[in-house]
Amino acid sequence: MRKKLIGLLAIGAVAVLSLTACTSGGGNNNKSGSNTDYSAKPSGTLTSWSFNNADDVGKARLAYAAAQLKGVTIKIDGTPFDAQKFTTRLASGNVPDIVQLDRTSVTQYAAQGLIQPLDKCFSARKINPDKRWYPYVVDDVRYKGQIWATPQFYQPPAILVNVKVMKAAGVTEDQINTSKPDELITAIQKMYKASGGNPSTLGLDPNVPGNIGLWILGMGGQLNDSNGKPTLDNPKNVAGLDLLKKIMDAQGGYAKVESFTGSFNSFGNNNQFVENQVGSQVDAQWYPNVISPYLDKIDVRAVPFMASNGKPFSVASGTSFAIPKGAKNPVAACAWMDEITNYDSWIAAEKARVATLAKNHGINTGLFTGSPQADQAIRKQYVKPSGNSDFDQVIQTYYKVLDYGKTFGSSPAGQTINQELSNAMTAVLLGQKSATDALKSAQAASLRAYNSAVKGG
């Protein structure tokens, strides 16, 4: 269900973004922010459409930013971002000063003139983007030499291994190596179990389509070029799809694997590690927090996802804050985005998390903020041995792969590229098309979206 929901959200975003290409500029007072004096003292009322269902970390950051902007009245719209609603608000001129977006959407809005570049904001606030954030995180929101949003979070993927399943099958950690397909497939087959012709234990859950970009880029592929133009028909993209098909075919086929993973109680007491339904699984850094309460029932370790060149590999992903075209208080918006993503804000957030963990007797896996200075300080001061050596190894593995990040690529057709790549993957894994043919179709659709975006509809 979780994977299907991700796909449906992407489809909805693509449809709405296609409409906005032809409606940009309507009714939004044509304020680009180009003449804004970002060095002015923030004042007035600030409206921010962000922080849906804020947790302890989010609430601490909001409180910190508010304390720094005492002359500003801050109003938070904490409802989930909705692309159609955003389009309607842009057309009416009733836009928030800040909107929180997935980073894959940022360049698409930037190309359509619906959000403002932030370089002057950064200059006024003395922010060096490539020092505050990991460069590959900033590259997600960099387009035509300008930066269009302030990133937050970078929670890299790695592979969690179920020690019990692995040992029972006679598999070792070094065999869970995505850079050695033949060895990997053998290990998967050893751990795989079926009941009544259907999977009961997967050797490896690649966790797609959510991680499809990881598999394509990690195997040497490319989603778009330096100008944002789609490159899905690049022959190097075939390797990732072919490896995924081998993984699925070794475990009963994609349809059966998808049906099985859709039944996982991923956030519950009977999750896939407790139930030994996976021998290994690709997971983002946040997922160890989910399974940490069950360490009396499970034994997990982690290995990096390995690129085709044999080196650890990761991809950057997460959300960001942007200033819409027509924002009424861009000066306060700039200041708030600075305060909500700076070092002190993240330290305040980590202190709040430490208090929560102490109350709930939880394990501190760290905060993965998107900012290297904050990540390093939090790890050094707050991430301590948990008493479970294998779980400590999981935490340290995720910290190590932070250094191996790569941007998905910034493209005016970013959402379309993601959706078309997912469609191509499904066709290949179900045996409906060859990887080359599926990618050719995906490229054609993505290129249409790209041309529409850069030409303004």
The tens digit of pLDDT for each residue in 65-86 reads: 999 999 999 999 999 999 889 9
Residues belonging to the chain: 457
Tens-digit pLDDT profile for residues 347-391: 999 999 999 999 988 999 999 999 999 999 999 999 999 999 999
| pLDDT at residue number 161 | 98
Instruction: Tokens 């990881």: give the residue.
Output: 214
Whole-model pTM? Answer: 0.90
Q: Tokens 């009977």 appear where?
A: 270
Quick check: 222 pLDDT over 90? yes
Identify the band that residue 132 occupies on the pLDDT scale cut at 50, 70 and 90: very high
Q: What is the pLDDT of residue 34?
A: 66
pLDDT of residue 429: 98
SS (H, E, C) the chain: CHHHHHHHHHHHHHHHHHHHCCCCCCCCCCCCCCCCCCCCCCCEEEEEECCCCCCHHHHHHHHHHHHHCCCEEEEEECCCCCHHHHHHHHHHCCCCCEEEEEHHHHHHHHHCCCECCCHHHHHHCCCCHHHHCCHHHHHHHEECCEECCEEECCCCEEEEEEHHHHHHCCCCHHHCCCCCHHHHHHHHHHHCEEECCEEEEECCECCCCCCHHHHHHHCCCCCECCCCCECCCCHHHHHHHHHHHHHHHCCCCHHHHHHHHCCCCCCCCCCCCCCCCECEEEEECCHHHHHHHHCCCCCEEEECCECCCCCECCCCCCEEEECECCCCCHHHHHHHHHHHHCHHHHHHHHHHHHHHHHHHCCCCCCCCCCCHHHHHHHHHHHCCCCCCHHHHHHHHHHHHHHHHCCCCCCCCCHHHHHHHHHHHHHHHHCCCCCHHHHHHHHHHHHHHHHHHHHHCC
- Mean pLDDT across the chain, nearest whole number? 92
Q: Provide the pLDDT confidence category of residue 289 given band limits of 50, 70 and 90.
A: very high
For the segment 261-277, the average pLDDT, to the nearest whole number, is 97
Can you give the pLDDT at residue 14? 36
- Retrieve residue 327's tokens: 């924002």
| 167-215: pLDDT as tens digits | 999 999 999 999 999 999 999 999 999 999 999 999 999 999 999 999 9
Strands (E), 52-94: 72-77
Q: In the predicted model, is pLDDT for residue 47 greater than 50?
A: yes
Closest CA to 429 of 166, 165, 248: 248
pLDDT at 17 over 70: no
- HEC assignment per residue over 86-106: HHHHHHHCCCCCEEEEEHHHH
C-alpha to C-alpha distance for 427 and 429, rounded to whole angstroms: 6
Query: At residue 97, what are phi and psi to the nearest 5 degrees?
Result: -80, -25
pLDDT of residue 29: 36
Q: What tens digit of pLDDT does each residue of 151-177 get? A: 999 999 999 999 999 999 999 999 999
* pLDDT tens string 379-419: 999 999 999 999 999 999 999 999 999 998 899 999 899 99
pLDDT at 35: 85
147 touches 138 (CB < 8 A): yes
**pLDDT recorded at residue 3:** 45
Q: For residue range 83-128, list pLDDT tens digits in order.
A: 889 989 999 989 999 999 999 899 999 999 999 999 999 999 999 9
Does 21 have pLDDT greater than 80?
no
**Which whole number is the average pLDDT over 27-51?**
79
Residue 317: pLDDT above 90?
A: no
CA distances from 182 to 24, 33, 176, 239, 257 (A): 50, 54, 11, 13, 20
Give the list of residues 6+ apart from residue 249 with CB closer than 8 angstroms, or none. none
